[in-house]
Amino acid sequence: MYVIDPPKQASLAVQGSEARFPIRRIFCVGRNYEAHAREMGKDPTREAPFFFTKPADAALDTPCTIPYPLLTENLHYEIELIIAIGKGGVRIAEADVMDHVWGASVGLDMTRRDLQTEAKDMGRPWDWGKAFDDSAPIAPIKPLADVPSVETGRIWLAVNGKVQQDADLSDLIWSVREHVSILSHAMVLAPGDVIMTGTPAGVGAVVTGDVITGGVEGIGELEVTIGARA
């Protein structure tokens, strides 16, 4: 019994299935490709990975149209490999990480870059730059048994057909096994947790009417259109 109707369970489509993947939390890895760390003005030496979060209901299925978000004048795309956790755990060893992974996909860590930059400059939290409505469009999850690799494979993004991000999963500073293990030493991971694993170089702005396409080789592709301002 609830005093108001409970919120709808956030979820994502699954490749080849009518059943959906329920989302508990969304964790995001910051600066996980060297060239992207450099373009953001940071030293890409192998400092410990850091994380931020988005609300579960920031996720939405693709293809989709997302409204141009409130409050920003500089909306950026970030194409990312997505990891979906099927079995929870704490202090997971690197060698055991894949036993906890249900599947993988490709998604966008949409970013209100002006608000994120202001937050960095002022020593404030990143939430307003990262954790806004509709900020995590994600392609249907591919079950792990059908995923060729989360360690190698092209990751790319194009805006209106022009390629802007083009890298390989092997460029990840912290691999999936490494960063999921590290994350599990900070949070007790649970089924339904989703991890956005960081973006390669080439981030940039999009405006109303732009069409973003992107993918990870062997895992999936997405298409997202930027709609009118919310």
Residue pointed to by tokens 């795309």: 77
Work out which of 23, 31, 75, 109 binds Mn ion, going by CB under 5 A: 109
- For residue 112, state whether it binds Mn ion (rule: CB under 5 A): no
Q: Name the segment binding Mn ion (CB under 5 A); options: 2-10, 91-99, 160-168, 194-202.
A: 194-202
Q: Name the segment binding Mn ion (CB under 5 A); options: 61-69, 102-110, 131-139, 186-194.
A: 102-110
How many chain residues interact with Mn ion (CB under 5 A)? Answer: 3
Q: What are phi and psi of 195, to 5 degrees?
A: -120, 125
Q: What are phi and psi of 77, to 5 degrees?
A: -95, 150
* Nearest distance in Å: CB 133, Mn ion: 17
Enter the DSSP assignment of 116. Answer: H
- For residue 193, state whether it binds Mn ion (rule: CB under 5 A): no
Q: Give the footprint of Mn ion on residues 67-96 (CB under 5 A).
A: 78
- For residue 131, state whether it binds Mn ion (rule: CB under 5 A): no
Alpha helix ranges (H) inside the chain: 34-39, 113-122, 127-130, 176-183
* Nearest distance in Å: CB 80, Mn ion: 6
Q: Which residue type does 195 have?
A: I
The two tokens of residue 193 are: 């947790």
* Nearest distance in Å: CB 78, Mn ion: 4
> Distance (Å, rounded) from C-alpha 147 to C-alpha 92?
21
> Distance (Å, rounded) from C-alpha 189 to C-alpha 91?
9
- CB nearer Mn ion, residue 11 or residue 199: 199
Work out which of 11, 164, 184, 199 binds Mn ion, going by CB under 5 A: 199
The two tokens of residue 177 are: 């096994």
